[in-house]
């Protein structure tokens, strides 16, 4: 660690009960009887975040100032663990100002308990009362400094961002911004298990699909594993990163599993509205549109008993567009790596009403990648190459324009996902789209989702050709992406 912390100034690894006692005065009383905190900063400070070498002159000035603060203020230290059931794990040590015990409380309840046998060390220093808002990431030192932000999501992602970087650089594996689950399905009188990763930018239904049960009946089932960050090794085995979920609550009332779970004792709420009479209202966004909850995974029905997912053999890439079917088949590791590298969706009204419908791309669907995005993409291809897997692009937007009647509903998405897994959908490789398009289904008529219902062949060819050219240029602009990935678009 690049900082020295005096034992005399540290409350060292207090219990969860002790942290709650320290945090209680900051909790807003409510009818659910849950810890509920309102932060001054309501979301991540992406534009204030910078990656540094510790020898950078500007970084050195900050390091000196932060060390001065640590020398003269009391801190809480919490040791937690990122990842479990995995060949490598990460000890994440949080040092947070004693004035903000609620951050330590959430950190301890979100991640795994440290056992002292972790393979890698991560350090986070959080000083919310610092007069300047600044996030300093030191990858080589596995350290992040959070200044001027009391939003818990910033502290949580500090640990996970560094863990993802270490997984790639030291272990040759990847940390992925993706949900995970398993499907156990009866196919031709044989039970088959599918290990699934679900990618998607904000607003594309990643958590909704991760927690979807499809109303399966025994012996069929789903096993919900993780909603945010997973690690995948060179053999395509995946592992969850967090003991509990950290979910957005803005639409939680429309997600029955999560809504029931979030009201159980053990949940911790952040930036959720409480009425003057103490009533919690998840649908009231007057505090923030980014309400959150640390939600105990054990409260979620159909949760997996393990965090080790096992072999990943199905990948869903969620996107939101208005010009493609609800599902496309991705036929190769190169194509899957291209879709991963594009990290594609479109801007929603929640992001910027003036840019609704415009393309947005984030490599790996992951805004937390530290350095070398091309290595991320190429490693993803390398992991998948030679493996037995299926991959699909899931469009949770529209087909044929942004009209209410053209909306692809969650029920449509669940139908296509389940029937793709069961092998009920016939796909045909489409040279215009560059992927396999659905042409028929054993379980229903899907003709209404044919793009040719909305576009002439020439119009669609022109539209898709322009899109594919744009995609290739984006991948080329990253620099260092393998040529076979670019050519696969």
DSSP notation for 378-430: HHHHHHHTT---EEEEEE-SBBSSS-GGGB--HHHHHHHHHHHHHT-EEEEE-
Name the pLDDT band for 84 (thresholds 50, 70, 90): confident
pLDDT category at 86 given cuts 50, 70, 90 is confident
Residue 355: its pLDDT value, please? 63
Identify whether 347 is part of a domain: yes
Last residue of a domain, one of 133, 156, 171: 171
- Residue 158 and residue 208 share a domain: no
Same domain, 420 and 355: yes
Three-state DSSP at 154 gives helix
* Domain shared by 80 and 220, yes or no: no
**DSSP conformation class of 355:** G
Is there a contact between 315 and 336 (Cβ–Cβ < 8 Å)?
Answer: yes
* Mean pLDDT, rounded, for 23-29: 98
Closest CA to 323 of 374, 393, 276: 393
- Let me know: does 52 contact 81? Beta carbons within 8 Å: no
Q: Band of the pLDDT at 349, cuts 50, 70, 90?
A: very low
pLDDT band at 135 (very low <50, low <70, confident <90, very high): very high
Return the closest-CA partner of residue 401 out of 354, 437, 347, 455.
Answer: 455
pLDDT band of 354, cuts 50, 70, 90: low
Task: Calculate mean pLDDT across residues 265-270.
Answer: 98
Pair (12, 120) in one structural domain: yes
Average of per-residue pLDDT across 74-88: 92
pLDDT of residue 393 exceeding 70: yes
The answer to whether residue 396 scores a pLDDT higher than 70 is yes
| Domain residue limits at 38 | 7-171
Same domain, 185 and 166: no
**DSSP codes, 1-58:** --S---GGGEEES--HHHHHHHHGGGSPP-TT---EE--SS-S--GGGEEE--TTSHH
Q: Residues 53-67: what's their mean pLDDT?
A: 96
Here the CATH number for the domain that contains residue 333 is 3.90.228.20
Q: What is the pLDDT of residue 177?
A: 94
Structure tokens at 131: 């007069």
Q: What's the pLDDT at 350?
A: 46
Are both 179 and 167 inside the same structural domain? no
Assess if residue 369 is contained within a domain.
yes
State the pLDDT at residue 358: 74
The pLDDT value given to residue 469: 96
Are residues 228 and 131 part of one domain? no
Rounded CA-CA distance 57/48 in Å is: 18
Strand 75-82, strand 10-12: pairing? parallel
pLDDT tens digits for range 297-345: 999 999 998 999 999 999 999 999 888 999 999 999 999 999 999 999 8
Whether 1 is covered by a domain: the verdict is no
- Per-residue pLDDT tens over the stretch 140-198: 999 999 999 999 999 999 999 999 999 999 999 999 999 999 999 999 999 999 999 99
SS3 225: strand
pLDDT tens per residue, range 207-226: 889 999 999 999 999 999 99
Provide Rg for the chain, Cα atoms: 23
Mean pLDDT over 351-362 rounds to 69
pLDDT tens profile 448-489: 999 999 999 999 999 999 999 999 999 999 999 999 999 999
Which of 141, 171, 201 lies at the terminal end of a domain, its last residue? Answer: 171
- What pLDDT score was predicted for residue 163? 97
**Model pTM?**
0.93
Write down which residue in 125, 146, 171 finishes a domain: 171
The CATH number of whichever domain residue 166 belongs to comes to 3.40.449.10
User: Does position 87 have pLDDT exceeding 80, yes or no?
Assistant: no
Q: How confident is the model at residue 347 (pLDDT cuts 50, 70, 90)?
A: low
* Of the listed ranges 126-130, 201-205, 218-222, 286-290, the one predicted with least confidence: 201-205
Q: Is the peptide bond before 291 cis (omega within 30 degrees of 0)?
A: no
Could you tell me if 52 and 68 lie in one domain?
yes
pLDDT score of 1 more than 90 = no
Residues 21 and 92 in one domain: yes
Q: What is the mean pLDDT of residues 410-438?
A: 96
CB 387 within 8 A of CB 236: yes
Q: Report d(CA 360, CA 452) in Å as an integer.
A: 25
Is the separation of the CB atoms in 200 and 210 below 8 Å?
no
Nearest-10 Cα torsion for 245, 389, 335, 231? 30
Do residues 167 and 190 share a domain? Answer: no
The answer on pLDDT for 405 being more than 90 is no
Same domain, 104 and 28: yes
Task: Please state the rounded mean pLDDT for residues 50-65.
Answer: 96
| pLDDT value at residue 201 | 87
Q: Could you tell me which residue, 208 or 134, shows the higher pLDDT?
A: 134
What per-residue confidence (pLDDT) applies to 24?
98
Based on the structure, what is the number of domains in the chain? 2
What confidence tier does 205 reach under pLDDT thresholds 50, 70, 90? confident
Same-domain status, 47 and 193: no
Q: What is the mean pLDDT of the chain?
A: 94
263 belongs to a structural domain: no
Q: How many CB atoms lie within 10 A of CB 238?
A: 25
């Amino acid at each position: 660690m690049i900082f020295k912390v005096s034992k005399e100034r540290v409350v060292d690894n207090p219990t969860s009960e002790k942290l709650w006692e320290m945090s209680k005065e900051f909790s807003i009383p409510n009818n659910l009887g849950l810890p509920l905190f309102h932060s001054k900063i309501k979301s991540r400070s992406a534009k204030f975040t910078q990656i540094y070498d510790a020898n950078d002159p500007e970084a050195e000035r900050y390091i000196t100032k932060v060390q001065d603060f640590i020398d003269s203020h009391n801190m809480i230290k919490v040791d937690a663990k990122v990842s479990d059931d995995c060949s490598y794990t990460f000890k994440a040590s949080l040092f947070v100002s004693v004035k903000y015990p609620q951050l330590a409380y959430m950190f301890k309840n979100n991640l795994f308990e440290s056992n002292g046998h972790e393979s890698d060390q991560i350090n986070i220093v959080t000083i919310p009362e610092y007069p300047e808002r600044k996030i300093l990431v030191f990858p080589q030192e596995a350290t992040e400094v959070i200044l001027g932000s009391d939003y818990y999501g910033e502290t949580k992602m500090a640990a996970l961002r560094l863990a993802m970087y270490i997984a790639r650089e030291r272990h040759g594996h990847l940390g992925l911004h993706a949900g995970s689950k398993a499907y156990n399905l009866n196919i031709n009188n044989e039970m088959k298990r599918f290990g699934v990763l679900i990618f998607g930018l904000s607003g594309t239904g990643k958590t909704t699909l991760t927690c979807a049960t499809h109303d399966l009946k025994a012996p069929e089932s789903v096993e919900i594993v993780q909603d945010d960050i997973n690690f995948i090794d060179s053999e395509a085995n995946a592992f969850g990163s967090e003991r509990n979920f950290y979910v957005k609550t803005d639409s939680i009332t429309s997600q029955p599993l999560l809504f029931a779970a979030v009201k159980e004792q053990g949940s911790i709420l952040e930036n959720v509205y409480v009425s003057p009479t103490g009533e919690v209202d998840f649908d009231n966004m007057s505090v923030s549109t980014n309400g959150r909850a640390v939600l105990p995974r054990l409260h979620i029905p159909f949760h997996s008993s393990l965090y080790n997912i096992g072999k990943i053999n199905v990948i869903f890439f969620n996107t939101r567009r208005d010009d493609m079917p609800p599902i496309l088949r991705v036929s190769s590791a190169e194509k899957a790596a291209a879709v991963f590298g594009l990290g594609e969706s479109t801007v929603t009204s929640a992001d910027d009403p003036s840019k609704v419908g415009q393309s947005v791309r984030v490599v790996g669907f992951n805004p937390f990648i530290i350095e070398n995005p091309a290595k991320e993409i190429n490693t993803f291809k390398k992991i998948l190459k030679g493996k037995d897997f299926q991959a699909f692009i899931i469009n949770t937007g529209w087909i044929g324009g942004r009209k209410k009647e053209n909306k692809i509903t969650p029920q449509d998405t669940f139908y296509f996902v389940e029937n793709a897994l069961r092998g009920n959908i016939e796909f045909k490789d489409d040279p215009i789209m560059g992927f396999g398009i659905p042409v028929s289904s054993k379980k229903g008529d899907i003709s209404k989702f044919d793009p040719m219902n909305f576009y002439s062949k020439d119009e669609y060819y022109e539209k898709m050709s322009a899109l594919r050219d744009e995609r290739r240029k984006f991948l080329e602009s990253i620099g260092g992406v393998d040529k076979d990935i670019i050519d696969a678009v």
